[in-house]
A and B are shown apart, each in its own frame.
Chain A
Amino acid sequence: MKLRLATCALMITAAFAATDANAQDKKALAFVVNGASDFWKLAEAGVKKAQEELPNYDLQFKYPEQAAAAVQQRLMDDLVAAGVSAVMVSAVDPKSSTDALNKVGAQVPLFTTDSDAPDTNRIAYIGSSNTDAGKQAGEIALKALPDGGKCIGFVGLPGADNARERIEGMKSVIAGSKVELVDVRGDDIDMTRAKRNVEDALAANPDIDCMVGFYSYNPPRIYEVLKESGKLGEITIVAFDEDPITLGGVKEGTIAATVVQQPYEWGYQGMKLMAKYLEGDKSVVPDDKLVIVPTKIIDKANVDAFEAELKARIGG
């Protein structure tokens, strides 16, 4: 009995030693997201593409099992303990996780993506500027409503940084024009509430001219409600992100345009940047430590090309 136990222990130790040895052959780079979503599938595709070009690195793409700061923190600690060389993270709650992120940053080079944590010791942020994206949404609205009009916005968490920056960005562009954002309704990322918010907004303001969906699932809900109430085409829809329904609406011409981020590029460029940084090339990090991958406006003109690209990336 004792002998068998000892053998087991030996075998387990041996197994661990073996994995350690493997891991040490190549430097590991980890991309840690804030939760599971389709959006990150694109970033994962970008990471895969980067892997092809970085054969000397082991690129890992990690989902926390829950979109909670504590869970994500444990995941990063585990990765650092397992010996990864650098981490890129979309922090669940960047504002209140400064200490935790610093702890990771003290051990390995830390990069942020998607949502920045400027107060930490992160090397750089790679991602969109939500303010810029909001500005682009404002431009869409100005173009679609030359005579001005009233807009109402829909979002998951109105207090979250990404939502606030998008809303502020849009407001800064439409300020002074006849286009106006009268209200933004939150739904706590509950799709039923998201849809009912659109219905209620329509009931409360039948004369509304424009609806803006700030989170990826908001435009499809707007699209469905307007379709069901027969107002598709009458009310301008300004969208964010690339939900299939949103792209369909853009193609159909019922959605004015959508502002998309490029998570594929975050994954691809981010990984290559990290590799370069590890190889000693510090020049890849700009002085302001912000590597902005610009957001794009997708309208009827370029939607087909965009969709094809998307399919190719996710399919590949």
Chain B
Amino acid sequence: MNRKDFGLLILILVVGTVVAIINPRFLSPVNLSNTANLIGLFGIFALGQAFVIISGGIELSVGSIIALLGVIFVDLVSLGTVNWSVAFAVVLALGCLIGLVHGLLITRARLQPFVVTLCGLLIYRGVARYYTDDATAGFPFGASFPTLEWLVAGRFYGIPHSLIAFLIITIIMAVVLHRSVFGRYLFAVGKNEEAARYSGIHTTRIITAAYVICCGLTAVAAVFIAMYTRSISPSSHGNFYELYAIAAAVLGGCSLRGGEGSIIGVVLGTVLLQVLQNLVNLLGIPSSLNFAVMGSVILLGVLADQQFYRTRKSVARAAG
């Protein structure tokens, strides 16, 4: 755990302590379990976003992908024509395909990531709405899919399965990012693409893979979120979720210039964002201030980090 991550952990503990003092129910098992569930839901796609940001890009279509894949999944499952596991495989494959297309447009057609994924944001939202004819996709009353529901919405001794899934994915992604050859190449490409190419790294493939991972994880999250809300109105489902992901990644120390970031940081960033949402409800702060609270804390966190960094640098310079 590096200094940045440690600072974030401190911030979470401070915020958590303050909330717990004002409203002790913050620490009640039910509340912790609920918050953990949401951390799982939002964390899975935030991890994906981190890969893209480390590669030096950005993925803006996350929310729309969650809506599109969500309606497809709910539709496939509620129609009952295919088994839910097949539906899951289809959705996962679609997610990876979307990522592949983004990656190829960025590396082969040399379009800017912002432009490609902004177009994706518009396209997938539109397709999702067309797919259901703008109707809400949901399960009929009393519909039950015991295995699926147990898997994605169940709890194990109060620990939501979404959090367990998130933790498993976190461990895998931490190994991929921090221990694997691919992860090292990803940092290299994000930091200095030219030097990476001069070292024989297949930079286009690495960047494309980052988008495939991002959209693949987003597909997994889409299934979890769909099973959480159990009902998806394609025009609003997942709106702005890409911003939650980007905020978590940036809070967690990813630089939008690429080449920097850690998995633990993204996890902590997600935790902080969800704790903030939780405290708005628990402390009875008007719901309308939700985003304002979130924005302010992110700004303060990033600002404090920057100040701290600068002070340390000038101290180091004075000493040297």
Which A residues have a C-beta under 8 Å from some C-beta of B?
35-38, 41, 63, 67, 158-159, 183, 185-197, 199-204, 206, 217, 220-221, 224, 228-229, 243-245, 247-249, 251
A185-B281, A244-B138 given; A191·B229 CB < 8 A? yes
Contact A229 B30 (CB under 8 A): yes
Contact A204 B282 (CB under 8 A): yes
Q: What CA separation (Å) do A247 and B141 show in the bound complex?
A: 8
Q: Which of B38, B239, B288 contacts A196 (CB 8 A)?
A: B38
What is the distance, in angstroms, from A65's C-beta to the closest C-beta of chain B?
8
Verify if B192 is at the interface (C-beta below 8 Å from A).
no
A200-B281, A200-B282 given; A245·B138 CB < 8 A? yes
What is the distance, in angstroms, from B110's C-beta to the closest C-beta of chain A?
31
A191-B233, A192-B228, A224-B230 given; A203·B138 CB < 8 A? no
Contact B235 A217 (CB under 8 A): no
Closest to A194 in B: B229
Closest to A185 in B: B287
Closest to B154 in A: A228
Contact B34 A203 (CB under 8 A): yes
Within 8 A of A (CB), among B276-303: 277-278, 281-282, 284, 286-288, 290
Q: What CA separation (Å) do A187 and B28 show in the bound complex?
A: 23
User: Number of B residues whose C-beta is below 8 Å from A?
Assistant: 39
Residues of A within 8 A of B60 (CB): none
Q: Which of A183, A228, A249 contacts B284 (CB 8 A)?
A: A183
Segment with Cβ contacts to A, from B89-97, B129-137, B170-178? B129-137
CB-CB nearest 6 A-B residue pairs:
A248-B141, A36-B134, A200-B281, A203-B31, A186-B287, A191-B229
Q: Can you report 28 residue pairs joining A to B where beta carbons are below 8 Å apart? A: A36-B133, A36-B134, A159-B288, A185-B287, A187-B287, A190-B236, A190-B240, A191-B233, A192-B225, A193-B277, A194-B229, A195-B228, A197-B281, A197-B287, A199-B31, A200-B34, A201-B281, A203-B25, A204-B23, A204-B282, A206-B30, A217-B233, A220-B138, A221-B229, A229-B30, A243-B138, A245-B141, A247-B141
Within 8 A of A (CB), among B248-304: 277-278, 281-282, 284, 286-288, 290
What is the distance, in angstroms, from B295's C-beta to the closest C-beta of chain A?
14
Q: What CA separation (Å) do A158 and B134 show in the bound complex?
A: 24
What is the distance, in angstroms, from A41's C-beta to the closest C-beta of chain B?
7
Verify if B102 is at the interface (C-beta below 8 Å from A).
no
What is the distance, in angstroms, from B74's C-beta to the closest C-beta of chain A?
12
Contact A249 B141 (CB under 8 A): yes
Contact B231 A245 (CB under 8 A): yes
Residues of B within 8 A of A229 (CB): 30
What is the distance, in angstroms, from A146's C-beta to the closest C-beta of chain B?
28
Q: What CA separation (Å) do A161 and B23 show in the bound complex?
A: 32
Q: Which of A38, A158, A183, A200 contacts B31 (CB 8 A)?
A: A200
Within 8 A of A (CB), among B16-43: 23, 25, 28, 30-31, 34, 38, 41
Contact B34 A38 (CB under 8 A): no
Q: What CA separation (Å) do A217 and B136 show in the bound complex?
A: 10
Q: A158-B287, A199-B31 are in contact. List 18 more A-B contacts (CB 8 A).
A: A36-B129, A36-B133, A37-B134, A63-B134, A189-B233, A191-B233, A192-B228, A196-B34, A197-B287, A200-B34, A202-B30, A204-B23, A206-B25, A224-B230, A228-B153, A245-B230, A247-B141, A248-B140
Residues of B within 8 A of A187 (CB): 287
What is the distance, in angstroms, from A48's C-beta to the closest C-beta of chain B?
15
Main SS of the interface on chain A?
helix
Q: Which of A36, A200, A201, A220 contacts B235 (CB 8 A)?
A: A36
Q: What CA separation (Å) do A292 and B85 show in the bound complex?
A: 49
Q: What CA separation (Å) do A141 and B198 show in the bound complex?
A: 72
Residues of B within 8 A of A188 (CB): 287, 290
Contact A204 B25 (CB under 8 A): yes
Contact B231 A190 (CB under 8 A): no
Contact A200 B278 (CB under 8 A): yes
Contact B282 A195 (CB under 8 A): no
Contact B25 A244 (CB under 8 A): no
Residues of B within 8 A of A185 (CB): 281, 287
Q: What CA separation (Å) do A200 and B26 show in the bound complex?
A: 9
Residues of B within 8 A of A159 (CB): 288
What string of 1s and 0s marks CB contacts (under 8 Å) between B217-247 and chain A? 0000000010011111101110110000000
Q: What CA separation (Å) do A37 and B134 show in the bound complex?
A: 6
Q: Which of A38, A158, A202 contacts B135 (CB 8 A)?
A: A38
Verify if B142 is at the interface (C-beta below 8 Å from A).
yes
Residues of B within 8 A of A221 (CB): 229
Closest to A245 in B: B141
Contact B237 A248 (CB under 8 A): no
A63-B134, A247-B141 given; A37·B281 CB < 8 A? no
Q: Which of A35, A190, A195 contacts B239 (CB 8 A)?
A: A190
Residues of B within 8 A of A38 (CB): 135-136
Q: What CA separation (Å) do A201 and B230 show in the bound complex?
A: 20
Residues of B within 8 A of A202 (CB): 30
Q: What CA separation (Å) do A37 and B137 show in the bound complex?
A: 11
Residues of A within 8 A of B134 (CB): 36-37, 63
Contact A203 B282 (CB under 8 A): yes
Closest to B155 in A: A228
Q: What CA separation (Å) do A203 and B232 show in the bound complex?
A: 25
Q: Which of B34, B235, B281 contacts A67 (CB 8 A)?
A: B235
Residues of A within 8 A of B136 (CB): 37-38, 217
Residues of B within 8 A of A37 (CB): 134-136, 233
Closest to A159 in B: B288
Closest to B136 in A: A38
Residues of A within 8 A of B290 (CB): 188, 193
Contact B287 A199 (CB under 8 A): no
What is the distance, in angstroms, from A147's C-beta to the closest C-beta of chain B?
25
Q: What CA separation (Å) do A176 and B278 show in the bound complex?
A: 32
